[in-house]
Amino acid sequence: MAEIYDPYVKYGLRRVVNASTSLTLLGGSISDPEVFRAMEDASKSFTHIPALQHWAGKIIADATGAEAGLPTAGAFNGLMLAAAACIMRGTELEVHDPVHGAGWSHIAERLPMHTEGLRTEFIIQGSCRNPYDYAVECVGGKFVEVGSDIDELSSAHDPDGTAAYYFTARETSRGLPLEAVLEVAHGNGAPVIVDAAAELPPRRKLRYYTEKGADLVIFSGGKHIGGPNNSGLLAGRGDLIKLAHLQAYPFHAIGRGAKMSRETIVGLVTALRIYLEHDEDALFKEWKRKANWMVEALSGVPGVAAGVLYQRAVEDGEPMAPFCYLVLDEGVTGVSGAELVRMLKGGDPPVWALWEPGFLVGDEYMGKVCINPQYMLEGEEELVVSRVMEALKESPVR
């Protein structure tokens, strides 16, 4: 097994083998070297940040099929700015220009505390709730939670209180689909925000939600796109993107604290261009090759059932993101799947795999260890297999 370079050992730290997914906790993804070259080039001079944001927004719009776009300091910041834009609909903020204008700070600074007379309610299905929807509350928004019933979804609308409908793309298998939410929301004259932060790959998902009719869509720039970890994409209606821009850095508004350097914005755009041009099919095949190799290597281990599953299927049913899964017979292995994940994380180097406590395997729900090759470096699949075998040998049953 070839030795893998560890850039952190000189700092007294350890690299992590990422066999899970693109996690902010681990630093996102690994960018193409061209991204860093572009960032270094951007560092050599100054530019007008609102104009740079507008330039980047046009490229984001073209990539997503939206009217307009805006680079954001991560997907969470994108959700904040999207919510802020919807709250400020119909206010005097709409007459201002983020690239050439000035003098609107007193309007924008009403958020999050001084929201009297503003529409601040966001209608959300209970199935769409997740820790990241807190972004809406950060800007002064309030959730109106409803069940997955079309009449309940419609009757929750208040012309004087509803700012928007909120939809989490990751939860499409539960609740009413996006199409139903769009029909109700647009019938009531309200926009729809779609949190699609982690919905890539495949690449076509960049345009999927806009083509369905979503008014604002948020993607992470630091996950599969391969941009800086603190970058994101906001795309949607031109009027709403302008309101979001007026609330963003570098202006004195709700987004001021979420700065994006000129280098980060250029790095994001460069990563997006590379992502649009890369051979996606070849990448998928390589992930599948690694997953199948790990399954074959671990299939003969007593008490371990190994196979390949897909992290999710996109809305058209095509399977995506293959990973190796392990189901452990604790009576044979002496350790549970959850314990194996903890043991891997405690090794040197730490291996971060996923523990899925209730995943459908065939017709049965069972817990399993998930090893995702998507962010594993070349040769790390051998290291992971070796570490799994070593951990199981340490079991007292063995």
For the chain, percent of residues with pLDDT exceeding 70: 93
Spelled out in words, what is the top-level CATH class assigned to the domain 33-277?
alpha beta
Q: How many CA atoms lie within 13 A of 220 on its CB side?
A: 21
- Its sign, for the CA torsion 22, 25, 29, 30, is negative
The alpha carbon dihedral of 131, 136, 140, 143 has a sign of negative
CATH pick for 9-26+280-393 out of 3.90.1150.180, 3.30.56.10, 3.40.50.970, 3.30.450.20: 3.90.1150.180
First to last CA, the chain: 25
pLDDT score recorded for residue 101:
86
- What pTM does this model have? 0.93
Counting residues of the chain whose pLDDT is more than 90, the rounded percentage is 86
Q: What is the mean pLDDT of the chain?
A: 93
Measuring CA to CA, which residue among 206, 213, 221 is closest to residue 237?
213
Instruction: Round to whole Å and give the CA distance between 165 and 191.
Output: 6
Burial-class residue 332 by CB neighbours within 10 Å (0-12, 13-18, 19+): middle
Q: What is the pLDDT of residue 3?
A: 77
Residue 141: pLDDT band with limits 50, 70, 90: very high
Q: Which residues pair with 369 in a beta bridge?
A: 326, 355
- Please enumerate in sequence order all residues whose Cβ is within 8 A of that of 251, keeping only pairs 6 or more positions apart, or say none: 98, 104, 105, 108
Kindly report whether the peptide bond that precedes residue 350 is cis, defined as omega within 30 degrees of 0.
Answer: no
Over residues 14-55, the pLDDT tens digits come to 999 999 999 999 999 999 999 999 999 999 999 999 999 999
- Please report the pLDDT score of residue 174 as a whole number: 80
Positive or negative torsion for Cα 341, 342, 347, 353: positive
Could you tell me the two tokens for 23? 């996690």
| pLDDT tens column, 146-192 | 999 999 999 999 999 999 999 999 756 689 999 999 999 999 999 99
Residue-range domain boundaries for the chain: 9-26+280-393, 33-277
**87 beta partners:** none
Peptide bond into 191 cis (omega under 30): no
Task: Count other Cβ atoms within 10 Å, centred on residue 40.
Answer: 12
**What would the two tokens of residue 180 be?**
């139903």
pLDDT at position 164, please? 98
* Nearest residue to 252 via CA among 56, 118, 52, 104: 104
